[in-house]
A and B are shown apart, each in its own frame.
Chain A
């Protein structure tokens, strides 16, 4: 790992391996009990017919891969996968990425007061508690007195019911753009000003400058940013706060589906199988991400 070459460990305070292990133990025990164990246990629950109530709650039995074959044929699960892909593509890969980069690019040369104001607003959208933010948007989209309908003069349009996925994509773009903006701001500082200056001298258009000078410098950042925000968006539970997955499963992304199957339907075994698939997807994305990071370092 990079840490080995950067910071050779040197036990200057004379802690010793024994006491160092003692220092590590409380944190590792907690992580093992409440993070590693649940992740591994999902695999076991996923091959049983364990339920929240009823006979199977008391004595669950092993059903092998039945839960996984069921997932293969479950139209609602396919629907959840498809909606999650739309959600990730629309709000993370396109929405947050492009809006975040645009902000980083145009704020570079804006007046400090303008820059600070816009940055503060995007950051506020990012740090406010998710239940508060969700309610702000429920109010904004409201059918009768919502701000959106007042602005557009379309009173009576129930946005969250008629266009639930569009609402979720707009909501999550608003919520998460700050991260991409900050990441791209720091990435853009690495682009040599002299190259931008010479592009301007030879009369390159804004688009040409972006494509030929800026993009090659920040390609790694674009990739890592996209992977991270996709991972977070796919695991985001806030769609539940806005629509609960409705109407009629039209906005039921995978996390909301897992919740509904597990706690509304009580099917702990089946929902664990789906959770395990989500864990596998997370693992895959994270491994790619770490590999990229290491190559850059």
Chain B
């Protein structure tokens, strides 16, 4: 153990501690403030109480917002998974004319047409369709935004499924639909589950689309209500806001842990919207 080695080890741990603190300190608030009798913006050891939880559940919009988020995100997750599953199977197994150009176009679309770049035409379009204040309209826009990337991730999964399963089913006389239902679907289930979770998490946190398209407070999903509560400020909301943030964050963290423990965190390069 030379002195130089010791200095390096100390430097190493100081660096790790500094980075850990940088990531941890801003997050402590969400753990301490929800259960504190006098919640403030600063971090301190809480004077334990569940009063804030009761206040939040009594809040006129809090539970509404969580329900709105659930309605929108479950719709998006199911729609993205179903549409992407059919599309990716067709793209993986059948040589449709112009397929490569289509794939290239989809790949471009997923990164070029972002929510911020397309917010004006999407707003104008939904406005003219009379779908402002419609959760269905929000789900429709979010589904389309996630589809190109979803098709790509799923196509990778389907490409990796050995064709011999389908071949042997065919040899035994199974019809096309039987093959899809009884062979392809079960094998592709981990991929479908991943896509469903991915679509849910992405739409759960999406702020811009519902912020643009929903004006009525009773229809706002949780992401927008967070912002409404922040803008209002005041002491009442410091009892509601921390608990609400926690409630709103829990599903994302739980789903992430679930996917992580079941399938391992797979790294899909370039996929995050």
**A residues apposed to B, CB below 8 Å:** 1, 3-4, 6-7, 9-17, 19-21, 23-24, 26-28, 30-31, 33-39, 41-42, 45, 50, 99, 102-103, 106, 110, 114, 117-118, 121-125, 127-132, 134-140, 142, 144-147, 150-151, 174, 179, 182-183, 186, 224, 228, 231-232, 235-238, 241, 254-255, 258-259, 262-263, 268, 271-272, 275, 278-279, 282-283, 286-287, 289-290
Contact = CB atoms under 8 A, between A and B. Distances in A.
Contacts of B227: 131, 241
B208 to A, nearest CB: 5
A179 B271 CA distance: 10
A145 B38 CA distance: 13
Contacts of A117: 20
A140 B23 CA distance: 12
B248 A45 contact: no
Contact of A6 (B29, B86, B90, B159): B159
Contact of B27 (A12, A24, A136, A151): A136
B19 A279 contact: no
Given A13-B184, A24-B86, 6 more contacts: A13-B176, A23-B86, A27-B147, A106-B12, A263-B123, A286-B112
A27 B87 contact: yes
B98 to A, nearest CB: 11
B202 to A, nearest CB: 10
A186 B94 contact: no
B116 A278 contact: yes
Given A35-B118, A129-B223, A282-B114, A136 B124 contact: no
A254 B120 CA distance: 13
A289 B104 CA distance: 12
B114 A145 contact: no
B119 interface: yes
B163 A33 contact: no
Contacts of A4: 100
State the main secondary structure of chain B at its contact with A. Answer: helix
Contacts, number: 289
A75 B183 CA distance: 61
B35 interface: no
A31 B104 contact: no
B119 A24 contact: no
Contacts of A41: 121, 124-125
Contacts of B109: 31, 35-36
8 contacts: A31-B109, A36-B109, A45-B121, A128-B253, A151-B25, A272-B120, A275-B118, A286-B108
B193 interface: no
B96 A20 contact: yes
Interface string B91-105: 111111101100110
B226 A287 contact: no
Contact of B90 (A21, A131, A137, A238): A21
B114 to A, nearest CB: 4
A82 to B, nearest CB: 18
Contacts of B29: 136, 139-140, 147
